[in-house]
């Protein structure tokens, strides 16, 4: 089994808040990420696919296919957008790194499977120090 990873980047705004909580409670729980007037992060996304190399091409997955898929299903929808308001697959969900990693998995897992390999991990850095890994 071989694991291959494509790295992408996007910049996006969000806030973490629950409308039914007071501003004070949101600040206590979510810290700076609860700022009412939004803020942004420079996200880094690592998509890891696993499989056996194709006998003819030597590829686990065609990286042109993978990068186009991630661009169309994920990056174009998130880059320079407001995650809470602009992104269809995040409507009604908390804009946390955890939930975003799961949502990104949902956008790309099936098309990757159609290539005869499997999505192994979505790793998403929100900051240099904080990242999430989702294995499905």
* Residues at the site binding Ni ion, with contacts judged by CB under 5 A: 33
Q: Is 126 a catalytic residue?
A: yes
For tokens 């995650």, the residue is 83
Whether 33 is catalytic = yes
Nearer to Ni ion, 33 or 124 (CB): 33
Catalytic residue among 39, 80, 106, 133: 80
**Which helix H or strand E contains 4, and what residues bound it?**
strand 2-14
User: Would you call 80 helix, strand, or coil by DSSP?
Assistant: coil
Which of 33/45 has CB closer to Ni ion?
33
Compute the least distance from the CB of residue 22 to Ni ion, in Å.
19
Name the residue whose CB lies closest to Ni ion. Answer: 33
Q: Which is closer to Ni ion, CB of 10 or CB of 108?
A: 10
Minimum gap (Å) between residue 125 Cβ and Ni ion: 12
Instruction: State both tokens at 115.
Output: 């290539």
- Of 76, 13, 82, 17, nearest to 41 by C-alpha is 13
Among 14, 33, 117, 120, the one annotated catalytic: 33
Is residue 132 a contact partner of residue 123, using CB atoms and an 8 Å limit?
yes
Q: Please give the distance of CA 81 from its chain centroid, rounded to a whole number.
A: 13
Catalytic positions, please? 33, 80, 126
């Amino acid at each position: 089994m071989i694991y291959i990873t494509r790295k992408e980047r996007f910049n996006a705004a969000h806030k973490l808040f629950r409308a039914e909580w007071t501003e004070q409670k949101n600040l206590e729980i979510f810290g700076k990420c609860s700022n009412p007037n939004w803020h942004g992060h420079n996200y880094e996304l690592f998509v890891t696919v696993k499989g056996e190399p194709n006998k003819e091409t030597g590829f686990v997955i065609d990286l042109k296919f993978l990068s186009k898929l991630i661009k169309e299903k994920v990056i174009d929808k998130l880059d320079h957008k407001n995650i809470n308001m602009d992104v269809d697959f995040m409507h009604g969900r908390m804009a946390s790194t955890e939930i975003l990693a799961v949502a990104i998995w949902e956008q790309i897992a099936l098309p990757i499977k159609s290539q005869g390999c499997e999505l192994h991990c979505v790793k998403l850095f929100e900051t240099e120090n904080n990242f999430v890994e989702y294995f499905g």
